[in-house]
Structure 1
Amino acid sequence: MKLQPDKSDVQTITAQGPGWIRVQADRIDHSALIGSRGQRIAWPCTRFEDLGPEHFAQLVELGSEVVIFGSGLRLRFPQPAWLRPLIARRIGLETMDTAAACRTYNILAQEGRDVIAALLLETEA
């Protein structure tokens, strides 16, 4: 799916499909953390079952005000205990499938919010 954001100076996700995203003109074929301040960090997980508390603890270090978690091809929620470090730092987290997370990230980033999209990129459910 091609996404058409308004013209903006912030980093946006310009397209998305099963197992990939495009950030500006760069195609990314692995799970990633994408930030409105220009962050592009590989996120070492290929399946939802690979996720653990260390993946969500990594999000705290990025210091954003909100995290949009794209849980893959379908909506799945992380274990509440994994979110404790985020809650302790008062960082909001919203969970949705990865396609919806890409769209939501773009909206928040264009509004000037300090947002991180934590995107699990799966090729099959």
Structure 2
Amino acid sequence: MQLNHEIPDFAYAFRIVGADSVVFEDRVNAGTRRVVKSFIVTPQALLEDWPAPASVKELTPDHLATVLAQQPELVILGTGEKQQFPSAAVMGACLTRNIGIEVMDNGAAARTFNLLAGEGRNVAAAILLPG
């Protein structure tokens, strides 16, 4: 699925979301960037070294430490091609810190991230990819 909209005023915007990769508009490096493994993105940072598990079923609260360190007001968890909810403990890791969490398939997560970042919201997306 290809996403199109005006040039963003934030550093990273989703452009293409596929089953096993994502392409970003990368304003930091003035181009595009393809990512093939799980990552975390905020409007101003792309963290490609997120040690995420292969599936949402294996996700633990400890895996969220990197995304929570970004101090977002909302975490968007992209769970692959289909929406799959993580354990209550994972949801609680955000909610007990008064950080919202929304769980979506990766396409919906990308669209939501672009919209909220474009509004200037303090949002972070944690995206699970099979690679």
Tell me the TM-score normalised to structure 1 length: 0.89
Q: Distance in 2 between matches of 1:103 and 1:42?
A: 22
Over residues 6-29 of structure 1, what are the superposed CA-to-partner deviations in whole Å (9 max), with x where a residue is unaligned? 222212011110110011100000
Letter aligned with residue 5 of structure 1: H
Would you say how many aligned residue pairs link Structure 1 and Structure 2? Answer: 123
Structure 1 position 22 matched with structure 2 position 23: yes
Q: Percent identity?
A: 33
Residue in structure 1 matched with residue 4 of structure 2 by the alignment: 4
With over 3 angstroms needed to count, the CA separation of the structure-2 counterparts of 1:60 and 1:53, relative to structure 1, is: same
| Range 72-81 or range 52-61, more displaced | 52-61
Residue in structure 2 matched with residue 118 of structure 1 by the alignment: 126
Structure 1 position 66 matched with structure 2 position 67: no
Gaps of 5+ in 2: 26-31
Tell me the TM-score normalised to structure 2 length: 0.85
Name which structure has the greater RCO, CA cutoff 8 Å, separation 6+.
1
Q: Distance in 2 between matches of 1:69 and 1:54?
A: 14
Residue in structure 2 matched with residue 40 of structure 1 by the alignment: 47
Q: Distance in 2 between matches of 1:116 and 1:105?
A: 8
Q: Distance in 1 between matches of 2:65 and 2:91?
A: 8
Cα distance, 1:78 vs. partner?
A: 0.9
Could you say what the CA RMSD is over the residues aligned between the two structures, in angstroms?
A: 1.6
Runs of 4+ in 1 over 3 A off after TM superposition: none
